[in-house]
Amino acid sequence: MASESENPPKTSLPKDGNGAESSTVADEDGKTLSKKAAKKEAAKLEKLRRQQEAAAAAAAAAASSEESDPLSGNYGDVPLVELQSKEVSGRKWTEIGLLNEELKDKEVLIRGRAQTIRAVGKNIAFLVLREKGFTVQCVLTVAPELVSRQMVKFATSLSRESHVDIEGIVSVPGVPIKGASQQVEVQVRKLYGISKAVPNLPINIEDAARSEIEIEKALQIFRQFLLSEGFVGIHTPKLIGGSSEGGSAVFKLDYKGQPACLAQSPQLHKQMAICGDFGRVFEIGPVFRAEDSYTHRHLCEFTGLDVEMEIKEHYFEVIDIVDHLFVAMFDNLNENCKKELEAIRKQYPFEPLKYLRKTLRLTFQEGVQMLKEAGVEVDPLGDLNTEAERKLGKLVLEKYDTEFYILHRYPLAVRPFYTMPCYDDPAYSNSFDVFIRAKEGVPKGLYALVRISFRELSGVHVPEFLATRAEACGIDVQTILTYIDSFRIKKVRENVSTNVLSTSANDADYPCHYANQKLPESSDEPSPRTYSKTDTGG
């Protein structure tokens, strides 16, 4: 017997003594309704009844269709019990990134996420499957004993980013495939849903699809290069008693009744390691900063690439290391990440990064002068804002044909307390920043400024001066007393902190080519004197 909700009653208007419809009617609760309201209520109930009948008919048709589909075992959602390590099937999966023309007519089993799903009528559907940044186009075409309409319908009902298994035959189309990284197709024979994604994802997939693999490869190059140059990897505390830099706000917290904060950088501990005769050290680890700025270069937490080394005579020794480091990273990424870079290029088209074999070096004053000649006024003793940096990047590209350069001798006022003043002008410092593709007119996502602060330590030989600088920067000397005391015990000249946002570094991982341009002469060239490994320097 059908329930009342399944078959809503029809509502008719009552009639008066002469057979005419009354102007009022009572609802089921006894309330009087107007003639117009009664008609509206009757129409609503009739619409509901028709919808319920249509839904019931569709459900019955679907059930009948499944029962009558002899290929129903070739598709569908995998039951949970099958995903609980029920048995070892011995099946072998092929990585999507390995699918190529050599596998033509071979049967493969692949697993990935449904990046896009598109139906062409009722008989054809296209799925682009993604795994580890690589994509392949999978095709379902209705064919007797192979693919049914119900299977095509199941495929198109999947939500984007659902995890699926596909068995099929590799084919090579006659035209290039523009929507996938692999230039082959998989003719689907079996399709199983492993894990369905929600229909409306709360994130933008394209923005969230930045691969950690490329970032890790860049870190590997960074690590391997420094190890080859005699650096030692270290791990420093991230929970410390006071600010490690000053200037930037810190995340403060209570540590068993005592004030503490998250480390802004491993700078102080790296310098202490150099005092312990490590010579050259580096660290790849998390950095925390309570930034107030809202740009892609100001993050509250990021991965820092930090380097510290003893200086024998001139801070250009450090610039040389940085120069070779970045060139090595660019070269290795171009050589060993061609597939990944091409996959990125298809989603975010970009031009090859231009850089010199010997990196261009400009003083801060030279940069300010270039901006001034271009009509941009900047404070010669202040820092450059983002727009000034972009403008300078454009000017450098036009004049020197490079998008990668180093700006050194920054104003001391905009540097941390431990930065060494220049010998000839204490208003400036022995510090430098590295800029990558810092130019105007670059599409969003391709503007990459890797701002790296390299600075020679200010109080290495005079701890009292270091304490004075810390106080001037608003840092409580008592919170860094152990750090300052370490220089009373062991005094060496040292350098260098590199704070690289991993996001920015990834933005800069572009194919590169070299431009041969004459570098500007600098009055700050170090003397040609060299040291052997047995020299103590300092």
pLDDT one digit per residue (tens) for the chain, 538 residues: 444 444 555 445 555 555 555 555 555 555 666 778 888 888 888 888 888 888 877 766 665 555 588 999 999 999 887 887 878 888 899 999 999 999 999 999 999 999 999 999 999 999 999 998 889 999 999 999 999 999 999 999 999 999 999 999 999 999 999 889 899 999 999 999 999 888 887 777 766 666 677 778 888 999 999 999 999 999 999 998 877 665 557 899 999 999 899 998 888 888 888 888 898 999 999 999 888 877 766 788 888 889 988 888 888 998 999 999 999 999 998 888 887 788 777 767 888 889 999 999 999 999 999 999 999 999 999 999 888 998 999 999 999 999 999 999 999 888 888 888 888 998 999 888 899 886 543 433 333 445 555 544 433 456 888 888 888 888 888 888 887 887 777 655 544 444 443 333 333 333 333 333 333 343 444 444 333 333 333 3
Whether the CB-CB separation of 327 and 357 falls below 8 Å is answered with yes
Whether the CB-CB separation of 358 and 343 falls below 8 Å is answered with no
Where do we find the tokens 């919170």? 479
pLDDT at 535: 37
pLDDT at 349: 82
Global pTM reads: 0.60
Among candidates 116, 196, 125, 111, which has minimal Cα distance to 155? Answer: 125
**Cross-strand bridge partners of residue 27:** none
CA–CA gap between residue 150 and residue 377 (Å, rounded): 68
Name the 3-class secondary structure at 183. Answer: coil
How many Cβ atoms are within 10 Å of 464's Cβ, its own excluded? Answer: 11
Residues 6 or more apart in contact with residue 223 via CB below 8 angstroms: 233, 282, 284
CA–CA gap between residue 442 and residue 354 (Å, rounded): 14
Whether the CB-CB separation of 308 and 281 falls below 8 Å is answered with yes
Domains, the chain = 80-205 (2.40.50.140), 210-514 (3.30.930.10)
List the structure tokens of 331.
């070269």
Distance from chain centroid for Cα 511: 18
Among candidates 143, 144, 110, which has minimal Cα distance to 127? Answer: 110
List the structure tokens of 315.
């801070």
38's enclosing H/E stretch is: helix 35-68
Surface-to-core class of residue 387, CB atoms within 10 Å of its CB (0-12 exposed, 13-18 middle, 19+ buried)? exposed
pLDDT at 513: 35
Name the 3-class secondary structure at 21. Answer: strand
CA–CA gap between residue 24 and residue 26 (Å, rounded): 7
pLDDT at 376: 93
pLDDT at 525: 46
285's enclosing H/E stretch is: strand 280-288
List the structure tokens of 102.
């050599």
Whether the CB-CB separation of 469 and 458 falls below 8 Å is answered with yes
CA 404, 410, 415, 418 dihedral sign is: positive
CA 378, 381, 382, 385 dihedral sign is: positive
474: alpha, beta or left? (left if phi > 0; alpha if psi -120 to 50): left
Within 13 Å, how many C-alpha atoms sit on residue 130's CB side? 19
